Amino acid sequence: RKGEMAKLTQLINNEVFRAYATYTAIVLLKMMLMSLITAYFRITRKAFVNPEDTDAFGKGESAKKYLRTDPDVERARRGHLNDLENIVPFVGIGLLYALSGPELSTALLHFRLFTGARIFHTFAYLIPLPQPGRGLSWAVGYAVTFSMAYNVLKTTWLL
Amino acid sequence: RKGEMAKLTQLINNEVFRAYATYTAIVLLKMMLMSLITAYFRITRKAFVNPEDTDAFGKGESAKKYLRTDPDVERARRGHLNDLENIVPFVGIGLLYALSGPELSTALLHFRLFTGARIFHTFAYLIPLPQPGRGLSWAVGYAVTFSMAYNVLKTTWLL
Amino acid sequence: RKGEMAKLTQLINNEVFRAYATYTAIVLLKMMLMSLITAYFRITRKAFVNPEDTDAFGKGESAKKYLRTDPDVERARRGHLNDLENIVPFVGIGLLYALSGPELSTALLHFRLFTGARIFHTFAYLIPLPQPGRGLSWAVGYAVTFSMAYNVLKTTWLL
């Protein structure tokens, strides 16, 4: 019954939906980790953007010098934004895909590839690895989301 | 039966949910397209942000000059961020709206207006069209999402 | 029956899901408000980024001086981006959490804490309040989302 939407009454025990929930929670937690990494670099590199954030270093000119950009902070922020740009489509399209009745093995392949690619992407961005490491991992995640969107539109198309 | 939440047991054949899935997939794919447009401008304008991305142009000073901002790249990036800011609320509120049991014709009007407005917004941003073209298309998408949120809160309100 | 996924057939009358819908609509509307606040500062501070946005102030050099950054505009934009980074995980993980069958009182505690923390965070960012006001409100929202993710993974874990 490929291509037929799964009965939502069975969603509770639906393994595809459970798999979706597991991998979505993992990639969203991974995205949230970027906040901690950015904060870590801001504190260790003493590079802040809000004047009220440097008050702990003293008032006035002595603290003002910490209002600056730092390459490591900016790199973590770019990784975070790239996560937002790619994980948001995965979460939205993935939910519709999980409800469109795919085979468990096919769905798991999609979810695992995406999650693995995004975790690799983070390492490739932060270390950083030489290209095309980061570019390829981005492309894998992109292709997986595109494939899920194709399956959603094939099943639900109603303009 | 306006205002009554649709029976989720019928979600499979629920035309409102199918319409939501179709338009959500379309606007998320449109948002994903912004990554390709940004990459296109980065490559054709030779304007990169990560040192490891310019290694293909040779090592050292010769490649360093490509670590720069470019107006077209920045414009595509602003369009992408504006998509994130507006499409995320549409996807989240739209799902709740689709489950709140609206008439199909009303729901289609919301989804079509939003999708059309965001596609127009992208053209208005990238060409660029004179204002208030971009501003108005932004406002249409914003008003549609607000209208859906109003309907969700009217149906589900439980603080 | 803690830990057992709620029957989706009862989702219509499911109070946890209604609570999720209410608080998700509220925090997404709050996030959308950041667009209006940024626009307000752009107009009152006359600080724009797109050349076509300053045409109302006359063509040529007289308008060009309004293509600049402004501290209040940048602060509102940072608040908006911080919302995206934190509200996206809440909406995605919160949906899975609401479907994982938590007690209504526990779920309400999560949703209320998150919503209150993010509203406080916005005030703390815009006024701005001295630290650690903003930092603590960010941490409360973060911890709530993490707690929901833990419950989702405990219920659905299927790698």
pLDDT digits (tens, 9 = 90+) for C31-90: 999 999 999 999 999 999 999 999 888 777 778 899 999 999 999 999 999 999 999 999
Whether chain B has a CB inside 8 Å of the CB on C126: the answer is no
Mean pLDDT for all residues in chain B: 90
Q: Examine residue A62 and state whether it is found in any structural domain, yes or no.
A: no
Q: Write the pLDDT tens digit of every residue in A69-104.
A: 999 999 999 999 999 999 999 999 999 999 888 999
Residue B58: CB atoms within 10 Å: 11
The beta-carbon neighbor of A7 closest among B12, B17, B34 is B12
Q: Write the pLDDT tens digit of every residue in B26-54.
A: 999 999 999 999 999 999 999 999 999 99
Q: What is the per-residue pLDDT for B63?
A: 81
Q: Examine residue C99 and state whether it is found in any structural domain, yes or no.
A: yes
Q: Examine residue B113 and state whether it is found in any structural domain, yes or no.
A: yes
Residue span of the structural domain in which C118 resides: 15-44+70-154
Q: What is the per-residue pLDDT for A13?
A: 59
Q: What is the per-residue pLDDT for A20?
A: 96
Mind spelling out the 3-state secondary structure of chain B?
Answer: CCCCCCCHHHHHHCHHHHHHHHHHHHHHHHHHHHHHHHHHHHHHCCCECCHHHHHHHCCCHHHHCCECCCHHHHHHHHHHHHHHHHHHHHHHHHHHHHCCCCCHHHHHHHHHHHHHHHHHHHHHHHCCCCCCHHHHHHHHHHHHHHHHHHHHHHHHCCC
CA–CA gap between residue C88 and residue A87 (Å, rounded): 10
Q: Examine residue B130 and state whether it is found in any structural domain, yes or no.
A: yes
Distance between A39 CA and the closest CA of chain B, angstroms: 20
Burial class (CB in 10 A: 0-12, 13-18, 19+), C146: middle
Distance between B142 CA and the closest CA of chain C, angstroms: 8
Given the structure tokens 């489509």, which residue do they identify?
A: A89
Q: What is the per-residue pLDDT for C158?
A: 84
- Of B30, B151, B43, B129, give the one whose Cα is nearest residue B82: B30
Instruction: Tally A–B CB contacts below 8 A.
Output: 86
Distance between B25 CA and the closest CA of chain A, angstroms: 6
Residue C147's φ and ψ, nearest 5 degrees, are -60, -40
Q: Examine residue A52 and state whether it is found in any structural domain, yes or no.
A: no
Q: Examine residue A51 and state whether it is found in any structural domain, yes or no.
A: no
Given the structure tokens 């296109």, which residue do they identify?
A: B40
- The CATH number that applies at residue B110 is 1.20.120.550
Distance between C89 CA and the closest CA of chain B, angstroms: 11
Instruction: Verify whether the Cβ–Cβ distance C22 to B158 is below 8 Å.
Output: yes
The beta-carbon neighbor of B28 closest among A8, A89, A156 is A89
Residue A73: CB atoms within 10 Å: 22
| Contacting residues of B for A149, CB less than 8 Å apart | 25, 28-29
- Of B158, B156, B27, give the one whose Cα is nearest residue B101: B156
Q: What is the per-residue pLDDT for A101?
A: 86
Residue C126: CB atoms within 10 Å: 16
Q: Which two tokens stand for residue B34?
A: 């912004």
The beta-carbon neighbor of A84 closest among C7, C84, C142 is C84
The beta-carbon neighbor of C32 closest among B89, B131, B152 is B89
| Contacting residues of A for C129, CB less than 8 Å apart | 52
Q: Which residues of chain A fall below pLDDT 50?
A: 1-10
The beta-carbon neighbor of B91 closest among A92, A152, A159 is A92
Whether chain A has a CB inside 8 Å of the CB on C12: the answer is no
What's the average model confidence in pLDDT over C17-22? 95
Is residue A157 helix, strand or coil?
A: coil
CA–CA gap between residue B58 and residue A86 (Å, rounded): 30
Nearest-5° angle of CA A54, CA A58, CA A64? Answer: 50
Q: Examine residue A53 and state whether it is found in any structural domain, yes or no.
A: no
What is the percent of chain C with per-residue pLDDT over 90, rounded to a whole number?
79
Q: What is the per-residue pLDDT for B91?
A: 98
- ipTM score for this prediction: 0.92
Q: Examine residue B96 and state whether it is found in any structural domain, yes or no.
A: yes
Question: Is pLDDT at B4 greater than 50 in this prediction?
Answer: no
CA–CA gap between residue A149 and residue A128 (Å, rounded): 30
Instruction: Verify whether the Cβ–Cβ distance A149 to B28 is below 8 Å.
Output: yes
Instruction: Verify whether the Cβ–Cβ distance B131 to C29 is below 8 Å.
Output: no
Q: Which residues of A88-101 are buried (b: 16+ CB within 10 A; e: fewer)?
A: bbbbbbbbbbbbbb
What is the percent of chain B with per-residue pLDDT over 90, rounded to a whole number?
79
Q: What is the per-residue pLDDT for B58?
A: 75
Residue C33's φ and ψ, nearest 5 degrees, are -60, -30
Please tell me the total number of residues recorded for chain A in this structure: 159
User: Which residues face A48 on adjacent strands?
Assistant: A67
Whether chain B has a CB inside 8 Å of the CB on C49: the answer is yes
Q: What is the per-residue pLDDT for B126?
A: 97
Q: What is the per-residue pLDDT for A14?
A: 83
CA distances from A59 to A41, A63, C49 (A): 22, 6, 32
Residue A157's φ and ψ, nearest 5 degrees, are -35, 110
What's the average model confidence in pLDDT over B59-82? 92
Distance between A57 CA and the closest CA of chain B, angstroms: 30
Instruction: Verify whether the Cβ–Cβ distance B89 to C28 is below 8 Å.
Output: yes
Total domain count, chain B = 1
Q: Which residues of A, range 55-114, sit inside 8 Å of B by Cβ?
A: 75, 78, 84-86, 88-89, 92-93, 95-96, 99-100
